[in-house]
Structure 1
């Protein structure tokens, strides 16, 4: 009896509700096709594999038009782009070249403000490509700004009539400046020495009215490509340093050494060492220090002179005219206040057929000027009171130019 009881089928535990759930689960299991055994074997039907495999996406085939009869285009779905914030322009994502192009349109003040935004913008704001030319006229005091501007790689600098303090150079490397106007600045000689000792590529330089030194002229001598030199009204250097500088700068074309604190030795240094390449020379204001022999030496050394100013030389007489006649290219001549030249002798300039202008202020009265002009119809007389030789900005012009070149960055006060 005990063995029969063990062979009987055991009912589901619980009431009818539990029994029904057992039967329904059993019936579902029976209805569901089993594939576990089939997938483990090597003879698995293909229909069963396809039934249990995930569905594959079918590519969409789009064929339109006769030109697409032979070529079949398959359109695939592109992945969705990641949404980015559209709050505005991201300046950090712009390349340096594009930012430099934007900064190149800013004024000097805006460019300096931009340099304070971040380290990257500071580096770009002082890139050499943005600092080709700077005009600081109107700024009364310049201290560390001058050293910063020159160190930024400026090629053209214009800052006449300015008070200049210590430039505060952070390095001793040579500057890139080629054209510089420091005329009539209030500046110590030591500061000019600091600036000039770093200059090696000067083409045009104006130091009009400054107190210089032999060290400054030695630094000028290292700029062998110098073309224009304006030392009008300068002082503080010896004849030896002047001669050494003129010998080294043998490509000079325009020299203005008028009204300097020169002795007769200084004048002789100019007349004996002036480069033969000079075509415009202003050596006026030397009263009794400029002799006829000095003018003869200049004419011999510079046969291609086109503009010569020897005004305020009381030793000049009409005997100098045959010497000047040797200058076949002479176009502009200034003899103002050379009081030993008699007004009647000016008629001899009819022998100068190529002469265009003649400045003889102080030699003839206003009533005699029309008579002289009628006698010399091919020459304009007393049309230019101020010399333009080697000067960066012509006094009669109001545009802010530097030897005919404009400066992009300008200081606006």
Structure 2
């Protein structure tokens, strides 16, 4: 061992890199200028004191990220901050305004719109925005109970669901709905569920309940819709004549009324002709065989002088003497007298002169074969038997082009089987 060398204990901190060893070899040549460092040059200098007065050395940062604790070394390393702004060149969906997202959702079909509603809270709110649910078509659903219940909470304005099956409805609130156009024709729906729907309607403009079993409560609910313009109750049943009369008195703006083939007595028919509004221009009062009389026709013509389309088919009590009464309808363009068997061919030949603006005539069942051909020759300006089905107050025709339309307006959201 050399004269000036002194043994040192093994230092636990390897990062000192031999600085103390070189310092001990030069103690006899040079002394530290710091008086506090006296006594560090002895053999018995404690390790703690050496570490206390050793100059601070910065730890060298390891190059490999994520390997700071390799080889049993514990090193604190600061990671770079994550960039708060996206480095991608695309635009996040979260940054799009509600107006643009609504326009995108507007292009989705019904099923996809419902799927998008479960993405997040914001999309759920936008997916059920009232602007997207303006018109809904649920035609042909086997069980439309839940769908109908949910749709009615979206402030839908047009709802088309003919030939659907509804088991029951459970509304959570008692507030009114915003329905303006409603078609439930030929559906299977409990009367109680229908009452629940109609009791919330206040803004109806066009309604079709064709073929349904109704009640006095439903007819009374219709009285709460003063803007009702078109009403189709063809083939309905189970409501009284007084309830019908009160409804017709309240709905004074009705222009088209289809009340054909209902389960009517003579009192029902009189409730209609005695309370019809003068605003009616198209009326289907067919199917009442022995309940519609000539006196009823006279009263009808007096109350509604502006009728343009009139269907009195299957009224077996009407005879030729009813034609001069109908002549008072100066604006009559379409007349249906099908299966009115007491009106003979001779009484029909002069209709071209009796009704100057008449353009359509239906006489199914009373004029056939060669008689029909001769009648067409005598009245070349009138189309005879061209409309086998009445379109009065009906939501849509049987044409495929108008399949998803109701009263000439298209329902955007459609349920597809």
Fold match (TM-score > 0.5): yes
The structure 2 residue matched to 1:405, chosen from 382, 393, 409, is 409
Q: Indicate the residue corresponding to 2:197 in structure 1.
A: 195
1:100/1:339 CA distance change after superposition, 3 Å: same
Are 2:358 and 1:355 aligned? yes
Match of 2:379 among 372, 376, 380: 376
Q: Could you tell me which residue of structure 1 aligns to residue 232 of structure 2?
A: 230
Q: Give a deviation string over 1:104-157, Cα, whole Å, max 9, x none.
A: 111101001111222221121111110000111132220121011011011001
Partner of 1:260: 262
Give the equivalent residue in structure 1 for 2:244: 242
Alpha-carbon spacing, 1:83–1:280, altered in 2? closer, same or farther (3 Å): closer
* Secondary structure class of the residue paired with 1:164: coil
SS in 1 for 2:349: helix
Q: Is the 8 A contact 2:168 2:189 kept in 1?
A: no
CA distance in 1, matches of 2:214, 2:85: 67
Provide the residue aligned with 2:389 in structure 1: 386
Per-residue displacement from partner, 1:204-260 (whole Å, max 9, x unpaired)? 000000000000011000001000000000001000000000000000000000000
| Correspondence 1:30-45 to 2 at 5 A | none
Q: CA deviation at 1:197?
A: 0.3
1:365 is the counterpart of 2:380: no
Q: Which whole-Å CA distance do the structure 2 matches of 1:138 and 1:242 have between them? A: 30
Indicate if the aligned counterparts of 2:307 and 2:329 stay in contact, CA closer than 8 A: yes
Q: Can you give the 5+ residue segments of structure 1 that lack an aligned partner in the other structure?
A: 1-13, 23-80
Q: Is the 8 A contact 1:114 1:125 kept in 2?
A: yes
Match of 2:117? 115
Pair 1:225–1:211, CA change in 2 (3 A): same
**2:321 match: secondary structure:** helix
TM-score under structure 2 length normalisation: 0.79
Q: Which residue of 1 aligns with 2:155?
A: 153
Distance 1:272 1:280 in 2: 16
Structure 2 Cα separation of the partners of residues 154 and 264 of structure 1: 38
| CA shift for structure 1 position 94 | 2.5
TM-superposed CA distance for 1:168, in Å, is 2.3
Matches within 5 A, 1:8-407: 83-86=85-88, 89-351=91-353, 352-396=355-399, 398-400=401-403, 401-407=405-411
**d(CA) in 1 for partners of 2:273, 2:29:** 135
Asked if 2 retains the 8 angstrom alpha-carbon contact of 1:145 and 1:167, the reply is no
- Aligned pair count reads 342
Judge conservation of contact 1:217–1:241 (CA < 8 Å) in 2. Answer: yes
CA distance in 1, matches of 2:380, 2:171: 56
Give 5+ residue unaligned stretches, structure 2: 1-26, 35-82
**Partner residue, 1:34:** none
CA contact under 8 A between 2:285 and 2:312: conserved in structure 1? yes
Task: Return the alpha-carbon distance in structure 1 between the equivalents of residues 187 and 86 of structure 2.
Answer: 56
**1:344 Cα offset (Å):** 1.7
Deviates more, 1:391-400 or 1:186-195: 391-400
Q: RMSD over aligned Cα, in angstroms?
A: 1.9
Kindly indicate whether the alpha-carbon contact (under 8 Å) linking 2:140 and 2:162 is maintained by their aligned counterparts in 1: no
TM-score (norm 1): 0.80
Q: Is the contact made by 1:330 and 1:355 (CA closer than 8 Å) also made in structure 2? A: yes
SS in 1 for 2:182: strand
**Conserved in 2, the CA contact under 8 Å of 1:144 and 1:165?**
no
CA contact (8 A) 1:127 1:152 kept: yes
Q: Secondary structure at the match of 2:402?
A: coil
Cα separation, 2, equivalents of 1:233 and 1:395? 18
| Match of residue 44 from structure 2 | none
Q: CA separation in 1, counterparts of 2:317 and 2:280?
A: 24
Large movers: runs of 4+ above 3 Å: 14-19
Structure 1 residue 17, shift from structure 2 partner = 5.8
Mapped partners of 1:86, 1:170: distance in 2? 46
